[in-house]
Copies of this chain bind each other. A is one copy, B any other.
């Protein structure tokens, strides 16, 4: 690796690929399941597993509060957690554009290693492809994850009028931070940072208390779209109180400037919970004690007023229907 840029050679499967693995990847993720460098990793398992995949194409690849490496770990870890799993094993696959800087790749790999350690997940297998300049956009990453399945959640069919809607923190930080970074609105000291973080502690604490119908991390499409997916075609409605939804002031500002609605902006470190009403206080108490859950709030209630719909009660007393995101609001935010 005498040159400072990725060339096509590094995706060849030959000598240069081996150099990349030996010098960058093995040192970052060294563990007994990865180090034989076989085509697949042999891992210990349990009778029931959770398996998830996500490709990440976020642009720009670094943004306040994270980068595509951190995001690609959190995204899959959070998917495993939301399915009731404890994250265990991660695969990692890069599609890198010819000309991408090694220094940037190192930084990304280091983010991945750090975040995987935090989340308690082990990278056990991987792959690297390089495409010609002009056929990618810097770097795309796929991660797939295996988790041990600990809790069966009943899902949205178990949601009943009277249930409470909880959100583990403020809405829309990730989407707003990426859009602000893309449009060059941010400087080093900007208070707006992505909420990107692994949810394993928050989800484990919530599951420990019980009474949960469904959990979901509101990524693409944000809080509004995820709740619309819960309610769609069901015999209940979801009613939100605008004033109860925590939204950070810098997110409000950026969304105002860019013409975005924070409720449709992606989160990458928040979870929505629908739970039995008697469990919402104990769950919120537990979340408040965990870093990243300090601002967890009850944001709404399940009703039977307008079955299938999500309603937002505004601060001036009006009420409007939130529809599912149609088409794209924020391209490539994850």
Q: Copy number of this protein in the oligomer?
A: 2
A47 to B327, CA, bound (A): 43
A127 to B76, CA, bound (A): 11
Residue numbers in B under 8 Å from A7 (CB-CB):
327
Q: Is the CB of B52 within 8 A of A41?
A: yes
Residue numbers in B under 8 Å from A327 (CB-CB):
7-9, 12, 14-16
Contacts of A39-61 to chain B: CB distance below 8 A: 39-57
The digit string for A105-133, where 1 denotes a CB below 8 A from any CB of B, is 00000000000000000001111011110
Given contacts A42-B83, A225-B14, contact A53 B326 (CB under 8 A): no
Q: What is the interface of chain A mostly: helix, strand, loop, or mixed?
A: mixed
Most buried by B among A11, A39, A57, A125: A39
Binding site for B on A (CB under 8 A): 7-9, 11-18, 36, 38-57, 78-80, 82-85, 89, 91-95, 124-127, 129-132, 134-137, 140, 142, 144-147, 149, 155, 216-217, 219-221, 225, 266, 324-329, 331-332
Q: Provide 19 A-B residue pairs closer than 8 Å at the C-beta atoms, listed in order of the A residue.
A: A8-B331, A9-B328, A14-B225, A14-B324, A14-B325, A14-B327, A40-B51, A42-B48, A45-B46, A46-B47, A51-B146, A53-B142, A54-B93, A55-B142, A57-B131, A91-B144, A93-B142, A95-B140, A136-B137
